[in-house]
Amino acid sequence: MDAVPPAAAPTGRRLLAIVFLPFAAAYYVSFLFRNVNSVVFPELTQAFDLSPGALGFLTSAYFLTFAGGQLPLGILMDRYGPRRVNATMLLVAALGAVVFAFAAGLPALVLGRALIGLGVAVCLMSSMTAFVLWFPLERMATLVGWMLLVGAIGALSATKPVELALRVIDWRTLFVLLAAYAICASLAIFLVVPEKAAPPPRGTLRSQIATVWTILRDRGFWSIGLAAAFVQGIALSLLGLWAGPWMRDVAGLDRAELAYNLLFAAGAFGVGGALWGSLSDRLAQRGVAPLAIYFAGCAACSVAMIPIVLGYGAGSLLIWTLFLGLAPFGVLSYAFLAARFPREMAGRVVTALNMVTFLVAFAVQFGVGAIIDLWPVVDGRYALDGYRTAFGLCWLLQVASVAWLAYAERSALRRGFGRRAALHDAADRS
């Protein structure tokens, strides 16, 4: 598709239709892929005789390749545009789904899962980069919130709808259908999204790679990014796999019940994403700094995780819904962290943060399985002490990251709940 000149650039609802919706279709399936194992895990463990550690490694392979692809794909997005990169990578995800569907053993399953993770690695980041190119910066948090709502619909589809689908088709057919959807999403992005008429990227490819290290050496990137990584990464890893076994083993739910609980928890993640993004934009207009809102939300999410760590199975629906409803506060960091760097570096900034987040998610999803594996499996169920130990370690890391945010950004947070903070941040960005 030819680049659109500025005078002919789409606006309003048409802009949302041809830019937001195609990227949303891709992000939908990325979340479905991410969370589907939380429901199909009984079929996988039975068909391939998987231990908790093997199940955790298999599912977390998605996060490992997802994280590994962030920086190179971010550089490619800044150089060639989010439209081309995302459309191409969705075909890799489709290939991974086919490999997963026809796997005869654990190595092929891991390969398929890894290809899926790599293929959908830029679905959210490409949409954010496209938003930076096409929309005013002050709409970023709202648009990202809407995108998270779309992702949550994908997560919702990976719960009760998948459980109902598995009564009619087997898990292998399910993954073939997901591959077909990924191909359709790729075509939608490539054929519908216009190419932004923009100046060529500054500098050589080598200089663009060098700027990544500038981002990673920035103190603010880490003080803000680590809290986002641990709040968001832990929530994503648990929703993607271990929330399901926890509900079965700690809360005593059967598969239909846990799928129902996961449906509400995933829905809360989406509603939270849309709500907190809009709330942040509205409060910022009234002089409340986004950094202060972000910190308050991350702290609240850490408090909400305590009942899960302690194993209060009787309130599983409420506590998981609350925890995952607060987790999207971590995503607020993407918009105002990207604003601290030049606009042409937006793809590299958000993908660098996403890399850290999904490395945390990989470590959590794999590590939880490895820790649970230290206790004996009785009648196919995992030990409560294993969950408490693994989830407790995750909680300590999350609390430490939020505490570091409070310390490193203490001056900004003191000003954070007043009009002076908003004016100060605006002055810093100008």
Residue 214: left if φ>0, alpha if ψ -120 to 50, beta else—which one? Answer: alpha
pLDDT at 270 over 80: no
In a domain? residue 385: yes
Residue labelled with tokens 């490992």:
64
Query: What are the tens digits of pLDDT across the range 331-368?
Result: 888 777 877 787 777 767 877 888 899 999 999 999 99
pLDDT at 277 over 80: no
Tokens at 403, concatenated = 């505490």
Residue closest to 91 by CA, chosen among 29, 153, 31:
29
Query: What are the tens digits of pLDDT across the range 279-332?
Result: 887 887 787 888 889 999 999 999 999 999 999 988 899 999 999 999 989 888
331 vs 237, more confident: 237
- Enumerate the β-bridge partners of residue 196: 4
Q: How confident is the model at residue 177 (pLDDT cuts 50, 70, 90)?
A: very high
In a domain? residue 9: no
Per-residue buried b or exposed e for 199-212, using 16+ beta carbons within 10 Å of the residue's own CB: eebeeeeeebeebb
User: Domain range spanning residue 51?
Assistant: 18-429
* Chain-centroid distance, C-alpha 177: 22
In a domain? residue 145: yes
Query: What are the tens digits of pLDDT across the range 99-147?
Result: 999 999 999 999 999 999 999 998 987 887 788 787 776 677 678 778 8
Number of domains in the chain: 1
Distance CA 413, CA 408 (A): 10
pLDDT at 300: 97
DSSP strands (E only) in 330-407: none
In a domain? residue 10: no
Sign for the CA dihedral angle at 295, 300, 305, 310 comes to: positive
Q: How confident is the model at residue 89 (pLDDT cuts 50, 70, 90)?
A: very high
Query: What are the tens digits of pLDDT across the range 395-423?
Result: 999 999 999 999 988 888 887 655 444 44
Q: How confident is the model at residue 204 (pLDDT cuts 50, 70, 90)?
A: low
Other beta carbons within 10 angstroms of residue 217's beta carbon come to: 9
Query: What are the tens digits of pLDDT across the range 24-66?
Result: 999 999 999 999 998 899 999 999 999 999 999 999 999 999 9
CA 121-123-124 angle, 5° bins: 105
pLDDT at 226: 93
Tokens at 307, concatenated = 């009942």
In a domain? residue 131: yes
In a domain? residue 390: yes
- Indicate the pTM of the whole model: 0.80
pLDDT at 427: 44
In a domain? residue 70: yes
CATH code for position 191: 1.20.1250.20
In a domain? residue 13: no
pLDDT at 345: 76
Per DSSP, the three-state class of 10 is: coil
Other beta carbons within 10 angstroms of residue 138's beta carbon come to: 11
Residue 215 near residue 349 (C-beta atoms within 8 A): yes
Mean pLDDT of 163-185: 96
